[in-house]
Structure 1
């Protein structure tokens, strides 16, 4: 049985993705289930995070968002039975690639997949769904009546944030990076408030937000990265908001949830945050699988995502699956930030 693995290099150019043979034990461990994988999500590998956690291997497994059918259960498994449809995210230290026909997974990492949802849909949305829940519920503590600004609302993560916030009675503003994205987001009205185009410049962001909020600013800002310098560009060519603009649009007592790992705040930035009594929180998408301190809460999030997707409350844009034989090339594009993510269907 073959799986996709990463052979780390000194830089992105030297990092390679290879297909390697793998074998499963004859017997399933007592708390594990054997799953026939139907779809697997591909997302960038955070090699720096793996190094910080002491996970250093010659070959790093690739493909962690999996959906499939239970083939066999261990002797102490209580949540699943053979033929159950399941979905979950493999932990960072999982030894095998999720991009295999069959894998063994701990039962406490999986939840049931609703019958009406496709394999591609759940495998493509589970990671961004967890990020959206973490940003809005865990970090920002959103509540009805709050005002939220979501950067890059046309991305899967941004769209799920918009849908989840709208369901809870939050007024949502967002930004678009292309005319096509702007047209798509405009179709989400009236549930979506204002769509701010930032095709060439983000200079209108502050004025548009303040005009929409009566000069008060927003309660929550969620970004997918920020610029630390005026002339800085993102890897995928999108114009990211400047950190000072993000702080400026925050209202009193506001929450800024950032995905920027290396955020640096200058004294004037800190002073402005202090004057607004605002806070900054870092969104680490791996926090749930890197620690088991709140495993029950994590499983509750996964179950709620599936329930809301089944009810039509959450619905990411349909994504076309790539063939298994193209997984190596596609993963190289994802790692170089030429593509955000992909789904492989078996």
Structure 2
């Protein structure tokens, strides 16, 4: 399932490709009949809130997004959803986002990537929604949710979500207070979209390692400084992810130590894996998919276990139950700035 930073990248790609343009909308699969009602409308905006994408459509470019007539297409990709793009050179900043997918045009008979005329591409039968503009198109397949909402419906969804670290309007106090009031394990709370929006299994595992916290410690046993530190660490990590399409949590000095991960699927593939200049995924994580391998910091065997229907990964030596006393400086792995210094552990 895509984590929150990829949905923000998706919103940016849709704004760049279709923003303020009159578009054609259709549902080749036939399961999103509302697409016909929006055909010929203007895509006024695209925004991400956690793992939810909202596409704002207005009947005319003279109407501002947010006006009473605005209709919002809410999309949640879930485990199997994806968007794929095709168009003129420079049309979209990405070619695909979501579950493992085939690029648009790759299965067109007699065509290869360089020769595809996007205007001639026939949508696959599984395409839930196609958006086509003057310079290109985007196809949505396999989403968990795809529905049309009015302003009240959009707000109702947002009100159910916790704060999103990538949004300027996020209130981190809601996250901190919710964690401190809960008896639930912090490893479960971080995956609860009602507590914090956009966090997935990779960010959960990695930020807890960086905070030196055992995933099983109850939220109420943490101090305010510890929980605020988790938020402060997530913001630059996710901003980097939104900018590059990659999750990288390791410090440069640790990347070549036990540079391995245990992969049983393509689940950890990231944007730009084929680029030799990026940090490869086997060097990008401290604990995620590194079960049975030595910890990069202390050489203890990384463990994994089921937690709330997902696999959690942690180092039993580095991640103590209640304390957070890192022995190395937590500086963002791909940026020159340092994160805030360690806070007092007093409430």
Q: TM-score, normalised by structure 1?
A: 0.24
Relative contact order, higher structure (CA 8 A, sep 6+): 1
